[in-house]
Amino acid sequence: MYNKLQYISQGESVEEQLYNIHSALDNGCDWIQMRFKHQKPKKAFALAESVKFLCEEYLANFIINDDVHLAKQFNADGIHLGLSDMGVAEARAILGKTKIIGATANTFEDIVKQVNNGCDYIGLGPFKFTKTKSNLSPIIGLDGYRSIIDKMKDSGIEIPLYAIGGITLEDLENLVQTGIHGIAISGIITKSDQKSKLITELNEKLYGNVII
């Protein structure tokens, strides 16, 4: 089963991205989603090359956000696709059956569509307001997660569901109780000056104090 904690990378430059990713890996993250939007191909290539090496060194999953062809070029573990990115079925045709394809959803209807197209996990959000992403979809909130997960159960939809968007350590207990599989976060890890402690606490809440 997929790791319950995903780190979505941050940074305006290749150097800043690498520093943040290396720091997350070094302090216990083992799932990296490389998100480096609106960059020149040369910079995205340079970053992916280095992150691929780092993830192999730390035995971490390497997922690339949005850029299917870059994921194929570096034989990444998978891709994460937003609602306005390439479709899941098209990405699957390019990457093959063995790669992980995650897909964003904001509503139950989005989930049905993405699952029918063959994705492997869903990133459902935003949970709360976040500055990390522009053009934010409508806020879902705790009640929204409960409602959507109930609809999934009623419809027999079983797929790992990750909460995303403005999540803090204090939110986690209530979020886990909704039935989510895990969380995808960026800012709280990037900005933390006690990353090892934070990541340990996040994992404890996600895994219920089970040794991972």
The residue to which tokens 């990457």 are assigned: 95
Q: How many CA atoms lie within 13 A of 125 on its CB side?
A: 24
In sign, the C-alpha dihedral spanning 5, 43, 14, 52 is: positive
Q: Is 65 annotated as a binding residue?
A: yes
Q: Between β-strands 5-8 and 121-124, what pairing exists: parallel, antiparallel or unpaired? A: unpaired
Checking if the pLDDT of 10 tops 80, the result is yes
What is the predicted pLDDT for the residue at 209? 59
Checking if the pLDDT of 49 tops 60, the result is yes
Surface-to-core class of residue 199, CB atoms within 10 Å of its CB (0-12 exposed, 13-18 middle, 19+ buried): buried
Q: What is the mean pLDDT of residues 17-36?
A: 98
**3 state SS of 102:** strand
Would you say residue 36 lies in a domain? Answer: yes
Q: Is 106 annotated as a binding residue?
A: no
- pLDDT confidence bin for 137, thresholds 50/70/90: confident
> For 4-8, 36-40, 100-104, which range has the lowest pLDDT when averaged over its residues?
36-40
**3 state SS of 184:** strand
Q: Is 92 annotated as a binding residue?
A: no
What is the number of H-type helices and E-type strands within the chain? 9, 8
Would you say residue 212 lies in a domain? Answer: no
Q: Is 104 annotated as a binding residue?
A: yes
Would you say residue 55 lies in a domain? Answer: yes
Instruction: Indicate the residue type of 180.
Output: I
Checking if the pLDDT of 133 tops 80, the result is no
Would you say residue 211 lies in a domain? Answer: no
Q: Is 133 annotated as a binding residue?
A: yes
pLDDT digit string (tens) for 174-185?
Answer: 999 999 999 999
What is the predicted pLDDT for the residue at 211? 46
Checking if the pLDDT of 106 tops 70, the result is yes
Checking if the pLDDT of 126 tops 60, the result is yes
Checking if the pLDDT of 212 tops 70, the result is no
Q: Is 178 annotated as a binding residue?
A: no
Q: Which two tokens stand for residue 28?
A: 């216990």
Of 148 and 210, more confident: 148
Q: Is 190 annotated as a binding residue?
A: no
Q: Is 197 annotated as a binding residue?
A: no
Checking if the pLDDT of 135 tops 70, the result is no
Query: Which one-letter DSSP state was computed for residue 37?
Result: T
What is the predicted pLDDT for the residue at 1? 79
Would you say residue 46 lies in a domain? Answer: yes
Per the structure, the count of domains in the chain is 1
Q: Is 66 annotated as a binding residue?
A: yes
Q: How far is CA 87 from CA 28, 61, 64, 117, in A?
A: 32, 22, 15, 8
Range of the domain at 107: 5-206
Would you say residue 48 lies in a domain? Answer: yes
Would you say residue 94 lies in a domain? Answer: yes
Checking if the pLDDT of 132 tops 80, the result is no
- CATH code for the domain of 182: 3.20.20.70
Would you say residue 15 lies in a domain? Answer: yes
Of 1 and 120, more confident: 120
Q: Is 168 annotated as a binding residue?
A: no
